[in-house]
Amino acid sequence: MADITTTLCGIPLRSPLILASGPLSWNAEGIRTAFAAGAAAVVTKTIRPDATVNPVPHIAAAGRGSLLNTEGWSDLPARRWIEHELPALRDRDGVLIASTGHTPAEVAELAAPLANAGADMLELVSYRAEDAAPMVAAAKRAGDIPVLVKVSANWPDLVQIVGDCLAAGADGVTAIDSIGPALRIDVESGRPTLGAFAWYSGESIRPIALRAVAQIRLAYDVPVVGTGGVARAEDVVEMVMAGATAVGTHTAPLLQGMAWFGKTQTHLDAWLEGHGHSDLAGLRGAALPHLREIVPHTPLRFAFDVDLCTACRRCVTVCAYRARQLQLDRRMALDETLCRSCGLCLTVCPTRALSLID
């Protein structure tokens, strides 16, 4: 079996899989279920002094493994978390991360009570970028458990904000929160899905999350919980290759059920073994050096394996320049005077019949 353990801000995790903040971690029972299903760590729903009142409805499927939501923070008040939900998890089998925010004053009020009630770590979240570093400073003044700061890909000066948070004492970063505001419209009724602008999560946002993780890791040597659109074992590997130390997810287990954790852990182990890797940690940041490479301008040179080709013609269809022809005898013809080396045909081939010659 491959070694999939990791260490986040000095705390060992039995796997990189973390249940990110959201409705599945709404109370002690939800969190206990996640640990039992195999989550190595769980982030609580965001805890603020007062409970939120969510609009009805407030979560909708948005296609392609993605969701829209207009959900606020926890609908249990902080007092309830501190007196009942967190103490009820004292015998847990996993790492408990209390999410709180959204202002420095609230963090100053709640950081120590949440730690005393049993949280192993804090995760601070706010919609306002300018609150991030002051929240970290408030948490560090209040106690000594590790502090993650959750960042949004919406923030244009993301790397600078992370730098400010590290200067304020952050031990790690969770990247990213849901994206938005976003909009879908039900064309039958002509009404906006959920009746409002909403937050977008799930598979559609993974490329944006990966970009944020990589940007942070190119700038700083800091543990990052890569979060956003992770839905299968290969996505976990992709996040780790972007530089993540651990991987958060909420939409996938919400849509597929909590058994997602056990299934994904098994597939992750099989993927690593199948690709000859003895551990996951060895892949961390594997893609980052390539982001610094000089962009080449030499034409692409293709290899074509007729035995792998299923004659699906996808490579022919997607070529904007009509450079490819699949002959009746299944020979692949490429007109090099037309080919602009855009690379699209390679990436749509389902069987890797097309590949690059270095």
By CB under 6 A, the residues from 257 to 316 that bind ligand SF4 are 300, 309-315
> Quick one: which of 11, 13, 22, 151 contacts ligand FMN (CB under 6 A)?
22
Q: Pick from 15, 69, 264, 265: which binds ligand FMN (CB under 6 A)? A: 69
Could you tell me if 253 and 229 are in contact, meaning their C-beta atoms sit under 8 angstroms apart? no
353 binds, among ligand SF4, ligand FMN, none (CB under 5 to 8 A by kind): ligand SF4
Rounded least distance, CB 206 to ligand SF4, Å = 24
**Tokens at 55, concatenated:** 């609009």
**Could you say which of ligand SF4, ligand FMN, none residue 59 binds, taking C-beta under 5 to 8 angstroms by partner kind?**
ligand FMN
Phi/psi of residue 51, nearest 5 degrees:
-70, 150
x/- letters, 339..358, toward ligand FMN (CB under 6 A): --------------------
Per the listing, tokens 């940041």 go with 285
CB contact at 8 A, 26 and 75: yes
Residue that has been written with the tokens 């010659």 in this structure: 357
192 part of the interface to ligand FMN, by CB under 6 A: no
- Write out the H or E segment, with its range, that includes residue 175: strand 172-175
How many residues are there in the chain? 358
For residues 299 and 200, give the distance between their C-alpha atoms in angstroms, rounded to a whole number.
38
Instruction: Give, as ranges, the residues between 102 and 141 that touch ligand FMN (CB under 6 A).
Output: 125
List the interface residues with ligand FMN, window 266-325 (CB under 6 A): none
CA 106 and chain centroid, separation: 26
Contact partner, 284, from ligand FMN, ligand SF4, none, Cβ < 5-8 Å per class: none
Whether the Cβ atoms of residue 230 and residue 248 lie closer than 8 Å to each other: yes
Residues 160, 321, 355, 356: which binds ligand SF4 (CB under 6 A)? Answer: 321
C-alpha to C-alpha distance for 187 and 228, rounded to whole angstroms: 27
Binding residues vs ligand FMN (CB under 6 A): 20-23, 45-46, 59, 67, 69, 71, 73, 99, 125, 150, 177-178, 201-202, 205, 227-230, 249-252
